[in-house]
């Protein structure tokens, strides 16, 4: 299957914090655009309107689409004050409008250590429902997309399904590596959630939790991508999370390579490019 119609985005801040380095990383890898998370000006949700407009002009000028805002919304404790998060959501929706972003990535709140997540289900659903209502009332056309993540309420496939069923205006972001790190079988999770998934976050992991290039872990990423594309899905965001040993080059003589780890890279650009190549290789084969 060709990747010609597949829209590949990325968290390009993993190639570099600056907007310039992110633009370079997206362009040299031939990606469709970016899921904007962090820049030298801070997290995307904390940008001023003026700075957001400035950055939107820069990305537009380079022909780079800001597909999604990788916000940290919902990455607070379930018992933390909620109104500041609502205010941040309103600001982030405004920023999404400025960038022309179609989606905002959100989470479903950290559960206190050692406590049963089920005890917080109603509170989580109520909060997410209020967030969806805010987005709907502001008529931005932006979709809130819940990502499965370690330690939050939606860290299991069943609780992700509960969220998506209870708050229909929210769609899912499916992250195989995050499920692996939570001990969840990714194929079972995909079967349960696939009809409500907006797009994929692409990273893979081993049983010990280490993130590795796509197809090198146990996340069944190739099979999930194949089913997603066959069902008409087109968009996915690469989230490399590969290990960088920035001091590697100083330990090597010219022409030699230290065998620190099979999937350790000398700099962020190398790690980012390796992740892009691995994903494109998978797509070309499915």
pLDDT in tens, 240-270: 989 886 544 444 444 444 334 578 888 999 9
Q: Look at residue 140 in the predicted model and tell me its pLDDT.
A: 82
Per-residue model confidence (pLDDT) at position 261? 53
What does the pLDDT read at residue 245? 66
Backbone angles phi, psi at 153, to 5 degrees: -60, -45
Contact 44, 92 (CB under 8 A): yes
Q: Give residue 266's pLDDT.
A: 87
pLDDT of res. 248 = 41
User: Which segments of the chain have a pLDDT < 50?
Assistant: 1-3, 247-260
Q: Which two tokens stand for residue 234?
A: 């087109």
Question: Which has the closest alpha carbon to 156: 148, 167, 147, 165?
Answer: 148
Nearest to 203 by CA among 231, 236, 228: 236
Report the DSSP beta bridge partners of residue 65: 33
Distances (CA, A) of 125 to 70, 93, 128, 155: 21, 20, 5, 14
CA distance 281 to 271: 15
In the chain the first and final C-alpha atoms are separated, in Å, by: 6
CATH for the stretch 7-285: 3.20.20.150
The confidence score (pLDDT) of residue 246 equals 56
Return the pLDDT at 277.
96
| pLDDT given at position 249 | 47
pLDDT of residue 115: 96
Non-local (6+) Cβ contacts of 187 within 8 A are: 220, 223, 224
């Amino acid at each position: 299957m060709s990747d010609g119609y597949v829209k590949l985005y990325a968290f390009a801040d993993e190639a570099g914090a600056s907007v310039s380095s992110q633009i370079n990383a997206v362009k040299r890898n031939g990606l469709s655009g970016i899921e904007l998370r962090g820049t030298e000006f801070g997290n995307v949700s904390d940008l001023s309107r003026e700075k957001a407009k400035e950055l939107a002009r820069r990305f537009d000028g380079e022909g780079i689409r800001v597909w999604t805002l990788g916000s940290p919304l919902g990455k607070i404790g379930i018992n933390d004050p909620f109104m500041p998060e609502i205010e941040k959501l309103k600001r982030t929706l405004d920023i999404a409008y400025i960038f022309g972003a179609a989606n905002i990535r959100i989470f479903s709140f950290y559960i206190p250590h050692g406590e049963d997540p089920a005890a917080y289900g109603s509170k989580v659903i109520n909060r997410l429902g209020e967030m969806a209502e805010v987005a709907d009332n502001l008529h931005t056309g932006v979709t809130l997309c819940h990502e499965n993540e370690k330690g939050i309420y939606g860290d299991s496939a069943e609780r992700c399904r509960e969220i998506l069923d209870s708050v229909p205006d929210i769609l899912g972001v499916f992250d195989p590596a995050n499920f692996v790190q939570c001990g969840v079988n990714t194929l079972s999770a995909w079967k349960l959630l696939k009809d409500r998934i907006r797009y994929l976050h692409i990273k893979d992991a081993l049983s010990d939790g280490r993130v590795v290039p796509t197809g090198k872990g146990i996340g069944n990423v190739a099979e999930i991508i194949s089913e997603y594309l066959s069902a008409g899905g087109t968009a996915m965001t690469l989230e490399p999370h590969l290990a960088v040993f920035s001091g590697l080059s100083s330990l090597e003589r010219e022409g030699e390579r230290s065998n620190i780890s099979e999937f350790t890279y000398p700099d962020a650009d190398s790690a980012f490019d390796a992740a892009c190549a691995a994903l494109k290789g998978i797509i070309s084969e499915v």
